[in-house]
C-alpha cells in the first residue's frame, strides 16, 4: 500500500472516530519527528506498540480486505504471566462496509469486540478443533453482553450499535461492516500482534508500505525501522 493512501486512511479514520465523539490520545497526533524527539520518554508507547495500525494484511486490497486500528493502551506480558498488574489492552477500530478482517484466532488474547456505532458489525464464528484448526461441525457458544448465544458453525453473528461479543482464545472469527462503516471497540487481554494472530489463510498481519510521500503519523509497524 502506498504511504499516501495510508495517510489518507488515517485522516478519514480520525474524522470518523471524532464524528462519534471519541477522541484519540495526544500521542496520536505527534509527527514522526516529534515521536523521535520524545523517544527517551516514550518507551511505553514504542514497547507496547501503541498507535496507528492500518493494515491490508499485505494483500494490497484495503477496501475489500483490511482494517483500521489504533491501539490506545496495552499492558505487559510479564504482568500477564505473573497474574497481576496491567494485563489488559484497548483498541479502537473501523471496519468499513463489506471490508473483511480475515478469519483468525488468538492463542493468548481474549477480546470483547464492541459495536461503538455506525452500521451492523457482522462476525462469522467457528470453534477450534483439537488441533486448533477450524471446526466446521460443532455449535458455537458465545457471550454477548452477558447473554449466551448458541449458533451453528460458520453462522454470522450480527451486533447492532451498543452490542458486543466476548471471544475467547481459540474462537475463530472474521468480521466486516454491514449497511455502513462501523466504529469498533476492543477490550482485551494484553495484545501481541507479532505472535498472537493465527490466520486461516497464509496472509500477513501488517501492510507493506511503498514510500511515495512522508508519513503523516508513524504506524506501529514503522517503529522498528524508525527507532532502530
Ligand atoms: Fe481477533
In tens digits, the chain (228 residues) has pLDDT values of 999 999 999 999 999 999 999 999 999 999 999 999 999 999 999 999 999 999 999 999 999 999 999 999 999 999 999 999 999 999 999 999 999 999 999 999 999 999 999 999 999 999 999 999 999 999 999 999 999 999 999 999 999 999 999 999 999 999 999 999 999 999 999 999 999 999 999 888 898 999 999 999 999 999 999 987
Q: Cβ(149)–Cβ(193) under 8 Å?
A: no
CA 199 – CA 90 distance, rounded (Å): 21
Taking the centre of ligand 1 as the mean of its atom positions, its distance from the CA of residue 226, in whole angstroms, is 27
DSSP per-residue string spanning 136-173: SSSPEEEEETTEEEEE-TTPEEEE-TT-EEEE-TT-EE
What per-residue confidence (pLDDT) applies to 228?
78
pLDDT attached to residue 56: 95
Question: Ligand 1 centre and the CA of 37: distance in Å?
Answer: 33
For residue 104, the CA-to-ligand 1 centroid distance in Å is 6
Question: Quick one: pLDDT at residue 73?
Answer: 98
Centroid of ligand 1 to alpha carbon of 214 (angstroms) = 30
CA 42 to centroid of ligand 1, rounded, Å: 26
Q: How far is the CA of 213 from the centre of ligand 1 (A)?
A: 31
- For residue 105, the CA-to-ligand 1 centroid distance in Å is 6
CA of 43 to the centre of ligand 1 (A): 25
DSSP state at residue 57:
T
Which residues sit opposite 55 in a β-bridge? 67
- What 3-state DSSP class applies to 216? coil
Indicate if the alpha-carbon torsion angle 190, 112, 197, 40 is positive or negative.
negative
Ligand 1: centre distance to CA 170 (Å): 10
- The confidence score (pLDDT) of residue 227 equals 87
Expressed in angstroms and rounded, the spacing between residue 19 Cα and the centre of ligand 1 is: 25
Question: How close is the Cα of 161 to the center of ligand 1, in Å?
Answer: 19
103 near 154, Cβ under 8 Å? no
pLDDT attached to residue 28: 98
What pTM, to 2 d.p., does this model score? Answer: 0.96
pLDDT at 105: 98
Using the mean position of ligand 1's atoms as its centre, give its distance from the Cα of residue 49 in Å.
Answer: 17
Please report, for residues 58, 75, 88, 227, the alpha-carbon distance to residue 187 in angstroms, rounded to integers and kept in the order given: 25, 12, 7, 28
φ/ψ of 91, rounded to 5, equals -130, 155
Give the distance (Å) from ligand 1 centre to CA of residue 176.
12
Q: Look-up: residue for cell 481474549?
A: 110
Amino acid at each position: 500500500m502506498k504511504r499516501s493512501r495510508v495517510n489518507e486512511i488515517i485522516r478519514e479514520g480520525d474524522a470518523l472516530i471524532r464524528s462519534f465523539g471519541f477522541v484519540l490520545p495526544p500521542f496520536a497526533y505527534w509527527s514522526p519527528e516529534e515521536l523521535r524527539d520524545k523517544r527517551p520518554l516514550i518507551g511505553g508507547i514504542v514497547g507496547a506498540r501503541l498507535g496507528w495500525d492500518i493494515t491490508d494484511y499485505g494483500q494490497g486490497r484495503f477496501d475489500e480486505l483490511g482494517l483500521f486500528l489504533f491501539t490506545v493502551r496495552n499492558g505487559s506480558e510479564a504482568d500477564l504471566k505473573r497474574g497481576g498488574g496491567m494485563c489488559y489492552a484497548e483498541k479502537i477500530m473501523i471496519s468499513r462496509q463489506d471490508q473483511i478482517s480475515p478469519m483468525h484466532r488468538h492463542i493468548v488474547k481474549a477480546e470483547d469486540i464492541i459495536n461503538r456505532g455506525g452500521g451492523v458489525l457482522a462476525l462469522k464464528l467457528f470453534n477450534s478443533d483439537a488441533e486448533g484448526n477450524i471446526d466446521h461441525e460443532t455449535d458455537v457458544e458465545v457471550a454477548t453482553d452477558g447473554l449466551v448465544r448458541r449458533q451453528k458453525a460458520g453462522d454470522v453473528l450480527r451486533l447492532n450499535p451498543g452490542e458486543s461479543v466476548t471471544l475467547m482464545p481459540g474462537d475463530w472469527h472474521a468480521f466486516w461492516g454491514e449497511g455502513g462503516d462501523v466504529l469498533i471497540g476492543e477490550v482485551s487481554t494484553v495484545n501481541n500482534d507479532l505472535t498472537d494472530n493465527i490466520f486461516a489463510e497464509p496472509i500477513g498481519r501488517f501492510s507493506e508500505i511503498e514510500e511515495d510521500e512522508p508519513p503523516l503519523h508513524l504506524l506501529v509497524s514503522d517503529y522498528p525501522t524508525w527507532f532502530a
